[in-house]
Structure 1
Amino acid sequence: MQKIFSTQLNGIFTKIQQESEYAIEDAARLLAQTLITRGTVYFATKDEMKAIAAEGLNGAEAFPAAKELSDTDIPELTSTDIVIAATGFREDEGLLGLIRKVKDQTETPVILLATRKKEGAPQEEEWDSYIPLHLRGGLVPFENGGRSGIPSAMAGLFAYHVICLTAKEILEEYE
């Protein structure tokens, strides 16, 4: 089981990296612009995807100006800020509504990491950068036909770290 899970997870990471190369680079450029202009990095996450916000707010490489996005923050957002949003396996309409408000009412860039696509799900064109996390369900099959092991947060953290590393690379070139 462990071997299957790690092989499948590695496949998810590879797919994110290969199929979202340009979106990751776009997201990294937007993040680098925010860091250069000393804007604020906002996080819009729920459930298991709060791991991404925890990393950006409290992790070893936390951003100097970062906070969780709330409705009351929207009027204060500027084009120097950025919103990193992530939807978990159970897409949350409240979260999507919040980040759509950001897009409708401000010039603030929004990066969306989303676990899966279904009818009515967020469309790539809605966001400044959209990175699908390529999860359709559990990674490990069982004899009874069920599947288990849905690593939404792990896939989200992988995409987040790739964006951050690419942004750091851009910042090094800038300096």
Structure 2
Amino acid sequence: MLKIFTTQLIGRLKKIEDSAEFSLEDAARLLAQALVGEGHIYLYGDKEMKGVYHEASQGQEPLAKLKELTPEAVHELHPADRVIVFTRYANDEEALKIGHALAEKDIPFVAVSSHALQPNPAADKDLSTIADVFIPLHVEKGLVPTETGGRTGYPHLICALYVYHNIKLLIDEILEESE
């Protein structure tokens, strides 16, 4: 099982790299606008995705001008602010509410999640259609088959951290070039 999980995980990370190269660059440019201007970068992550916020705020190389975004704080955002939303699936109800509120306020945002296998009947759109930049995690199902025919091993957070670190490296590169 360990080899299967590792092989599949590496495959997912490679798929993100191959399919989202330009989206990662677009995300970094969008977020860097807040850092060179008067805005802040707000990060939303619910459930296990709070781990991305903890890495970005308290990791070895914290992201400058970072604030945690809560659903209640969306109304406090200013036009110079930028947002990145991390969630398991693009049709997550709370993340969609935030996405719609950001779109209404014309606050540019990046969304990072997997596409949902089950549509959300309450939502006519998902984050992939309303975000300015969408980066798919490609974790729609578990990575390891079980003996009962199911699947297990959903590395949403690992893949999200991979995306975050790529964006952070690109932001640092953009800021170096602008100095």
Shared fold (TM-score, shorter chain, > 0.5): yes
Query: Secondary structure in 2 aligned to 1:155?
Result: helix
Looking at structure 1, the residues matched to 81 and 24 of structure 2 have their Cα atoms a distance apart, in angstroms, of: 18
CA RMSD between the two structures: 1.9
Looking at structure 1, the residues matched to 73 and 129 of structure 2 have their Cα atoms a distance apart, in angstroms, of: 24
1:23, CA displacement in angstroms? 1.0
Looking at structure 2, the residues matched to 122 and 90 of structure 1 have their Cα atoms a distance apart, in angstroms, of: 5
Equivalent residue number for residue 110 of structure 1: 109
Equivalent residue number for residue 98 of structure 1: 98
When the two structures are aligned, how many residues end up with a matched partner?
Answer: 174
Q: Can you list the C-alpha shifts for 1:66-112, whole angstroms capped at 9, x where unaligned?
A: 222134433331232111101115953022102211111x2321110
User: Cα 1:36–1:90, aligned 2, differ >3 Å: closer, same or farther?
Assistant: closer
TM-score (norm 2): 0.88
Structure 2 residues without counterparts, runs of 5 or longer: none
Contact 2:99 2:127 in 1 (8 A): no
Looking at structure 1, the residues matched to 40 and 73 of structure 2 have their Cα atoms a distance apart, in angstroms, of: 11
User: Cα 1:71–1:5, aligned 2, differ >3 Å: closer, same or farther?
Assistant: closer
Of 63-72 and 7-16, the range deviating more from structure 2: 63-72
Query: Secondary structure in 1 aligned to 2:134?
Result: strand
Contact 1:41 1:65 in 2 (8 A): yes
Contact 1:112 1:130 in 2 (8 A): yes
TM-score (norm 1): 0.90
1:67-78 equivalent positions in 2, closer than 5 A = 67-78=67-78
Looking at structure 1, the residues matched to 22 and 5 of structure 2 have their Cα atoms a distance apart, in angstroms, of: 27
* Identity fraction in percent: 39
User: Cα 1:90–1:132, aligned 2, differ >3 Å: closer, same or farther?
Assistant: closer
Residue 133 (structure 1) aligned to one of 121, 127, 137 = 137
Equivalent residue number for residue 65 of structure 1: 65
Structure 1 residues without counterparts, runs of 5 or longer: none
